[in-house]
Structure 1
Amino acid sequence: MHNVLVIDDDTFVLTLVRDILQTAGYGVVTVQTPSEAFNMSVDGISAILCDYNMPGMTGADVLTAMRELQNCHVPFIFLTGHEELDDILPVAIRYGAELLPKPIQPVELVRLLVKQLASVAA
């Protein structure tokens, strides 16, 4: 089973994403802050879904820290309601991350996650 880490400061989004992913057969770990994610082991995590706009750190900061400081190279998907993509796209392209706009569409979330996980397996 693939385990997915979801980082979002909004408990409604965490619950929604957890329910979608569990229904699709994934194990899910949820945290509300980047610091919680950094304080846990990412061993056994197959992918990370992360909100872009959070207090204290952006999703771009989280992605950069995961890749460069934690040496974590699992698929990464930004969950974003952010309208201006100019600050997201450079880091997404640099690290091979995907963008999933909010409001989250369950079918699109699962499709994008399957695509990302398949690209790692290939």
Structure 2
Amino acid sequence: MRIALLEDETEQAQHIQSILSERGHHCDSFPTGQSFLSAVFHRSYELLILDWQIPDMTGIDVLESVRAQLNWPIPVVFLTQRDSETDIVRALDAGADDYLAKPARAAELVARINALARRTNPDSEKELLLYGPFEINTQQRTIALHGRELTLTDKDFDLTLFLFQNQGRLLTREMLLERVWGLARDINTRTVDTHMSRLRRRLGLNPENGFRIKTIYQRGYRLEAMKAQEPDADSPEAETLTND
């Protein structure tokens, strides 16, 4: 899991990163609210860990910005020395999913993160997934559209499954390379763009089928549900309409 950590104390940040890394998670740490928010809004993270008291704003301010600007309910955990009932209630009311007091106990932190991950993606263990006219069988690794099985490569299947399970989220090229291809995040490749272009055609991602892959300029892609009459902004037809 890709995790963003807001923690201004270097030793604490390194300790938490070490705990998460040992359990197979990737954790980026940020010492200020502004640097944290900039990363969260321009990269793809699956869970956020917030301290309350940081130099430039409060953790509550950061949480409110996240909830106001992200278009999907990313899990958020507070990890802070403030442990009064009033503080806990305030954080939960502001949109936090869990609240832990410092110092972090490794096993408990990881267990709570894993529990949040399961709640956020309840379809991850299902065999048959239905998304509008699309039927995905995770055991047989097949995808059908309106009951007709599509011809896809193994990588096409992996990418399609990941897109539907993360519908509505910005997925950067780096994240897709890591999670679908298993490649290092700093590799510069057009592999993702090539596969996305092909999937648009093979899956029939258009208004009639209810979904589209939206290209987010210089950032990545997002699978979006759409209405039947809504034009696909990434299609040649939509480009023609726009130019007119």
Q: TM-score, normalised by structure 1?
A: 0.89
Aligned to 1:3: 2
Between the two proteins, what is the percent identity of the paired residues?
A: 23
Q: Larger relative CO (CA 8 A, sep 6+): 1 or 2?
A: 1
Match of 1:45 in 2: 45
Q: Secondary structure at the match of 2:64?
A: helix
Give 1:94 deviation, angstroms.
4.5
Query: In structure 2, what is the Cα distance between the partners aligned to 1:81 and 1:48?
Result: 17
Cα deviation, 1:17-61, whole Å, max 9, x if unaligned, reads: 100000000011111111101222454201000101112321111
CA RMSD of aligned residues (A): 1.7
Corresponding residue number in structure 2 for 1:65: 65
Letter in 2 for 1:92: L
Give the Cα separation in 2 of the matches to 1:67 and 1:42.
Answer: 15
CA contact (8 A) 1:3 1:28 kept: yes
Aligned twin of 2:119: 119
Unaligned runs of 5+ in 1: none
Number of residues of Structure 1 aligned to a counterpart in Structure 2: 121
Q: For the structure 1 residues 72 and 9, does the alpha-carbon distance in structure 2 shift closer, same or farther, using more than 3 Å as the test?
A: farther
TM-score normalized with structure 2 length: 0.47
CA–CA distance in structure 2, aligned partners of residues 113 and 61 of structure 1: 22
Segments of structure 2 that go 5 or more residues without pairing to the other structure are 123-244
User: Is the deviation greater in 27-36 or in 54-63?
Assistant: 54-63
**Could you tell me how far apart the structure 1 residues matched to 2:42 and 2:92 are?**
20
Aligned pairs (5 A) from 1:28-107: 28-40=27-39, 41-71=41-71, 73-107=73-107
Q: Secondary structure at the match of 1:118?
A: helix
